[in-house]
Amino acid sequence: METPVLVFIGFMGAGKTTGARAAAAALGVRAIDTDREVEQRIGTSIEDYFASHGERAFREIEEDVVAEVLETPPAPVISIGGGAIGSARVRELLARHTVVMLDVDEPTAWRRAGGKRRPLARDRERFAALHAERAPVYEALADAVLLDGGAETVRRAAGALRRIPTGVKVLWAVAGGVNYPVYVGDVLDRDFWPVRGRRFMLTDETVGPVYGERIPELTATFAMPAGEAAKTLSNAEVLLRGLAAAGMDHDDHVVALGGGVVGDVAGFCAAVYQRGVGVVQVPTTLVSQVDSAYGGKTGVDLPEGKNYVGAYHQPRAVLADPRTLATLPAAELAAGWAEVVKTALIAGGPLWTRVRRGEGIVDRDLVLACARTKLAVVAGDERDAGRRQVLNLGHTVGHAIETATGYARYRHGEAVGLGLLAALTLSGQPELRSEVSDLLSGYGLPTTLDPSVDHEAVLTAVQRDKKRRGGRVGFVLVEAPGDVRTGAPVAERDVRTALGGLMK
């Protein structure tokens, strides 16, 4: 395979020039920046040219320069001006190369680039509008999105960025000092594996026989029973002893092939086996592809509570191939939609706009958008100290329902759906609650609690969860899609009312 040229794109202040230089240094090659090439061509600074000739004249020259560079790349790493993607010719040429987007949020971009000499960064409102307008264009063009475009992250990612299988998109995740790639798309069956070392696969008895062969060059395979009831310490022990008997050591890694249960248990085994070995998550359910495979929470249940034993252990890589969802039973797919709706409520914006249409189409972009939302939250708070708690939207009541019903009556996603409705009642959002309720029932998810469920047991589980967190942590409430508040104190009687709302 020919070595691809890396082209860095992104908004003003994203750090494209520095990023390209860092990548080039890591790869031992040269980098060029098209803004500098443009300045050489015009013989003055871009700011001065803009001021004397206007934006249109500048864009014409920029288009020519960038197109020439992309047609015959003079270096293996290139950074291009933030506005160059406005040209259709440039966008077309980008398809020949590996395009890397350095993500930057608007406030950070403004802090770095605003108010200074750059002609398009003088007025904050215009700057923000341009950011909102261009972000989806960069995203659509990118083969890889680096959620943190710092030079150190780029340096670590550089090698992997040159080996992205076609048709696959990469998100580069950062959490607690750990970096890892998330591959989304047709990534299985390609003879592609992102991590060195021997592979020890942990899976379940349903998924292993169907997809096990798609993991290349396995050293050993161990399967646990399928389903939440198997998420136990005793099953983890069986798997751990299997790994030990097979001679796994620190240079090896675990492959977690399956849904969220396998991901949590196998991730937990990887976290504790010999005090920690690597794990590559290969999620095969919608729940796991849009949520559980990312962020590094691993664990097992105790009869006393869900996920009562566990560890934070970030994966070395995630391979999410939506084609595996084709064999997923309809009820499991529906359970995944509850997590999608939750994620869309947290994200707001284009993801919510898409999800509220209720089309029920799962594709690479949906998985990517959900993964991106979760990873962006986790990046700022690996260990649930603050912002990460937004991801628990719907989970306080959801987990309590699961615990109170012995993990047997509802799937995790179904319980989360009910929990979301309770959270929207507590948020004082009757219209949004009704919209979400319609979405959930459209996917065949329950919107009322089975009358056999003991309310008091659910309330007790909510209280125990609160106690576990030192009584400090309140509910996650929704002001509006994209505007989610954590730690809201809620009186017991209001929780009762919200549960009552699930009885109708």
Residues that bind ligand NAD (CB under 6 A): 204, 206-207, 226-228, 231, 258-262, 264, 284-285, 287-288, 291-292, 295, 297, 307, 324, 327-328, 332, 335, 412-413
> Which residues are annotated as part of the binding site for ATP?
13-18, 118
Rounded to an integer, what distance in angstroms lies between the CA atom of residue 230 and that of residue 234?
Answer: 9
Q: 246: Cβ–Cβ under 8 A, 6 or more apart, which residues? A: 200, 219, 220
Residue 258 or 419 having the CB closest to ligand NAD: 258
Count CA atoms within 13 Å of residue 132 on its CB side.
Answer: 8
Q: Please identify, using beta-carbon distances, which residue of 324 and 429 lies nearer to ligand NAD.
A: 324
The DSSP line for 14-40 is: S-HHHHHHHHHHHHT--EEEHHHHHHH
Residues 254 and 269 sit within 8 Å (Cβ to Cβ) = yes
Residue with Cβ nearer ligand NAD (229 or 244): 229
Contact 139, 145 (CB under 8 A): yes
Nearer to ligand NAD, 36 or 387 (CB): 387
Per-residue CA distances from 472 to 173, 256, 311, 485, 488 (Å): 29, 34, 21, 14, 10
Q: How many CA within 13 A on the CB side of residue 386?
A: 4
List residues forming the annotated binding site for Mg(2+). 17
Report the nearest approach of ligand NAD to the CB of residue 184 (Å). Answer: 15
Give whole-number Cα distances, 173 to 25, 131, 216, 314, in Å: 21, 22, 24, 10
Question: Is residue 493 classed as helix, strand or coil in its secondary structure?
Answer: helix
Closer of 38 and 256 to ligand NAD (Cβ)? 256
Q: How far is the CB of 40 from ligand NAD (least distance, A)?
A: 50
User: Longest Cα pair distance anywhere in the chain, in angstroms?
Assistant: 78
Nearer to ligand NAD, 127 or 443 (CB): 443
Nearer to ligand NAD, 151 or 309 (CB): 309
CB of 422 to ligand NAD, least distance (A): 17
Shortest CB 362 distance to ligand NAD, Å: 12
DSSP letter at 379 equals: H
Taking the C-alpha atoms of residue 274 and residue 283, their distance in angstroms, rounded to an integer, is 24
* Least gap, CB of 330 to ligand NAD (angstroms): 11
Q: Minimum distance between the CB of residue 348 and ligand NAD, rounded to whole angstroms?
A: 20
Is there a contact between 394 and 477 (Cβ–Cβ < 8 Å)? no
Binding residue numbers = 13-18, 35, 59, 82, 118, 134
Distance in Å, CB of 93 to ligand NAD, minimum: 38
CB of 171 to ligand NAD, least distance (A): 16
CA distances from 443 to 330, 339, 340, 414, 419 (A): 9, 12, 11, 10, 16
Is the CB of 148 or the CB of 264 nearer to ligand NAD? 264
Chain position whose Cβ is nearest to ligand NAD: 260
